[in-house]
Chains A and B, each alone.
Chain A
Amino acid sequence: MYRSLFALIASNLRMILRDRILHGVAGVALVMLFLVPAFSSFSMRQMQEVSVTLSLSTNSLMLLVVTLLLATSSIWRDVERRYTSSVLTLPISRVTYLLAKYCSIAIFIALCGIILLVITALVVKISTLQYPSDLPIAWGTIALAIAADVVKCYLLTGVAILLSAVSTSFFLPFFGSLAIYLAGSASQEVFEYVTGQFGKDLSEVSVTLIKGVYYLLPNFSAFNFKVHAVYVLPVTAEALLFPAVYFLTYTSILLGLAIWAFNRRELP
């Protein structure tokens, strides 16, 4: 199984590279190299903080775009192109095919994360040359913030693969994943708002419904370490452990559901 899994991952990665998505990421990274120090100079007292903020936000956005492009067009497109028909005639199970798809996307996202980390380091260094901040540059936390963004994208990939496994077109995986991403990023704020003072004015049914949706949606805000990276705040062991375990369990459930759905799908 492993040999066919690795062979499929390699084949998928070649396809992704052929699509020149890496060129796009490198292009944005280069633009970032010029624009971020320029924009950071508008800050009055915290050039370093602004440059880290802009870099991390650009990275997060880039990784999101890459994830959505790759993961939402994964399985349904292969089905449409009849690629699955030819691959699955080989001694390769549907489980192997789906896991290879997920792993190849995950490897590519990690590659993008490494490129963006290197560029971020350069950008921050350039920005701080002129006006060093009172705060030190937390290189470790910056790397952690980008790594957490990568993991967040892995979780989103799980969502997209699941939707892609049941869909026959582009619309459900793309807009479904985007909607779940937006809702999952905001759910923590909404939950805290509803369970606070504001919730007292709401009916019990509404509060229960919102809480239900909160527990059901993937919580993407757990993977946000940007404030820690920008303002050199300490990161606790809990802040690392809980998101890591949460990611593992939630993504496993998503992939399990995707495998279950894909195994039952009739392929042309």
Chain B
Amino acid sequence: MQLRLLFILFVAGYLFLLQPFSLYMQQRPVAVKLGYTPHPQILKISAADHNLVVAEAMLLNVLFYYGTLIENFQENIIVRPEYLNMYQTLQAASILDPYNQDNYYFAQAAFTWELGRVEEVNALLKRGAESRTWDPWLPFYIGFNYAYFLKDFQAAAPYMKMAAERSGNPLFTRLAARYFYESENTDLGLLFLNTMIDQAKDKTVKLTYTIRRDALVAIKRIESAAEKFKAEFGVMPETIAVLVAKGYLDEAPVDPYGGEFYFDEAGRTRTTSKLAAPDM
């Protein structure tokens, strides 16, 4: 009888404890929740053949933690996030499983727009792009990050080219060509577009590439004429019309996107269309 009473007492005690215990577990300090991530090499050695599961578990840990941050933010509770710990966890997960798509997708979503840690994210994405050789989205993210956040079009162009080659997506092709142009690599842009025109099977896609290529050809003609003008007169021409008047161009090249070419303050060839059709 006494033993029964004791047993019931323990069961009651357990039931009584459940709610405060759960509350305590939920409110543990952030570092305890997210945990400490050991050195990736140690993790890789100790995970044996379960490295993919360990990477997934680490990733889910970060995702759940990030979820609580968003919930707090919506309820106007300001908690200082453990971004460094989160990044280190993602980095370690990428070493354990360099193929995990969720890792890169989350890093791109959470660390670029919100935090501006673009270079760190790109370092992570580059590891992914090396492993996921079929995936066009990782080079696309890298190219986009370079162009949009860092304004480094020269670095962006080859990644966008990689994305276009992997996917055959015309958007990536247009962006790559634009970045080559912005990085004063018109020749490279032309070469890339010609390759994509050769590979395109769809007529509409081929036409899209051709229009972009024609625009770059026109720009290349203006640039070459302007260089010759500068070599002779020592200054850049003020307008395209000057080049036509002096005989460097037979006629003013036409922008296939409907704009008009002009020289900006730095002497670069620009167009009022910004190399985009009105619906793009």
Contact = CB atoms under 8 A, between A and B. Distances in A.
B45 A186 contact: yes
Interface residues of A, number: 29
A134 B46 CA distance: 31
A18 B63 CA distance: 45
Given A45-B105, A186-B48, A227-B99, 11 more contacts: A43-B56, A44-B101, A44-B102, A44-B105, A45-B101, A46-B102, A135-B134, A189-B45, A193-B41, A226-B52, A230-B52
A195 interface: no
Interface of B: 41, 44-46, 48-50, 52-53, 56, 60, 63, 97, 99-102, 105-106, 132, 134-135
A231 B99 contact: yes
Contacts of B60: 42
B95 to A, nearest CB: 11
- Main SS of the interface on chain A? helix
Q: Could you say which of A46, A61, A182, A230 has the most chain B C-beta atoms within 10 Å of its C-beta? A: A46
Contacts of A244: none
A44 B100 CA distance: 11
Nearest to B135: A134
- Main SS of the interface on chain B? helix
B48 A185 contact: yes
Given A42-B60, A43-B102, A44-B106, A227 B52 contact: yes
Contact of B56 (A53, A224, A227): A53
Contacts of B100: 46, 49
A193 B50 CA distance: 19
Contacts of B46: 186
Contacts of B135: 134
A96 B149 CA distance: 71
B44 A189 contact: yes
B49 A221 contact: yes
A154 B258 CA distance: 71
Contacts of A190: 45
A137 interface: no
Nearest to B50: A57
Contact of B53 (A57, A134, A135): A57
19 contacts: A44-B102, A44-B105, A44-B106, A45-B102, A49-B101, A50-B56, A50-B102, A53-B52, A53-B53, A54-B56, A185-B48, A186-B46, A189-B41, A220-B49, A221-B49, A227-B97, A227-B99, A230-B52, A231-B132
Contacts of B106: 44
A60 interface: yes
A230 B99 contact: yes
B48 A182 contact: yes
Contacts of B101: 44-46, 49
Nearest to A54: B53
Contacts of A54: 53, 56
